[in-house]
Amino acid sequence: MEDPEIIQLYWERSEQAIRESEGKYGPLCHAIAWNILAQEQDAEECVNDTWLHAWNAMPPQRPAVLSAFFGRLTRNLSLDRLRYNRAAKRGGSQVEAALEELEDCLPAPGRPEEHLDAAETAAAISRFLREQPPLERNLFLRRYWYLDPISELSRRFRLTQGQVKSKLHRTRLRLKEALLREGVVV
């Protein structure tokens, strides 16, 4: 089923919307949740919560890119769950490694952000990513949006793990430079 038809089902309050979403985007959302949580039961619950949140969001929303919409919901729900789990000392995942790597990009680690708000910073990151070559851009997003492990990126992009790490490192440096230029930190 095409995405506009699935969205229409949500707007018509048809429960078939959830079945169609699950069939088409369940594996994608599950992969994201698993990368973040590394726990089957938690990942499953986050994916189920994704459909519930989508049900509550549509209407009024009509997402332009349905896969990104579902993926973003799953990602946020999974990060929330991870925070809860970390507080309770449960689980481990790609997030810990990704967080360490992202320290590279922080213009001023630990300093209160007072220059750009979240939406502006996200827009700056989007602009930065559009300026990158496709390989670097997609590698970066697969690592830090989808939280794919390095080994999976190596296979997917036909690079050695060293090349993957090296390209990610260079992109992180460029992002840091771009964030500084955009005024994330004076």
Partner 1 sequence: MTAEELLRLLGQVDGDLIQEAEVYRPARRPRSPYWGPVAGGVAAACLLAVFLTHVPSGGNSSSGSAAPDAGGTGGSFAWDSQISHAQEDGASSAGAESAPAAGEEAPGDVLTTPAGEYILTGEVLSALPEDSRQVGVLFPEGEESRSGLYTSRADYAGCLLWEGPDGELYVQLSGGGYALARMEGEG
Binding interface with partner 1 (CB under 8 A): 28, 63-65, 67-69, 71-72, 75-76, 79, 95, 97-111, 113, 118-119, 121-122, 125-126, 129-130, 134-135, 137-138, 141-142, 144-146, 156-158, 162-163, 165-166, 168-170, 172-173, 176-177, 180-181, 184-186
Residue 4 near residue 22 (C-beta atoms within 8 A): no
Closest contact distance (angstroms) between CB of 5 and partner 1 is: 18
Q: Which spans in 12-93 are helix H? A: 16-37, 40-57, 66-87
Looking at beta carbons only, is 9 or 125 nearer to partner 1? 125
Residues in Cβ contact with 140 at an 8 Å cutoff, skipping those fewer than 6 apart = 129, 132, 168, 171, 175
Closest contact distance (angstroms) between CB of 139 and partner 1 is: 9
Write out the H or E segment, with its range, that includes residue 96: helix 94-102
Looking at beta carbons only, is 51 or 144 nearer to partner 1? 144
Looking at beta carbons only, is 34 or 144 nearer to partner 1? 144
Closest contact distance (angstroms) between CB of 80 and partner 1 is: 10
Closest contact distance (angstroms) between CB of 23 and partner 1 is: 17
Greatest extent of the chain over all pairs of C-alpha atoms, in Å: 51
Residue 48 near residue 77 (C-beta atoms within 8 A): no
Looking at beta carbons only, is 52 or 65 nearer to partner 1? 65
HSE, side-chain direction, 13 A CA sphere, residue 145:
18
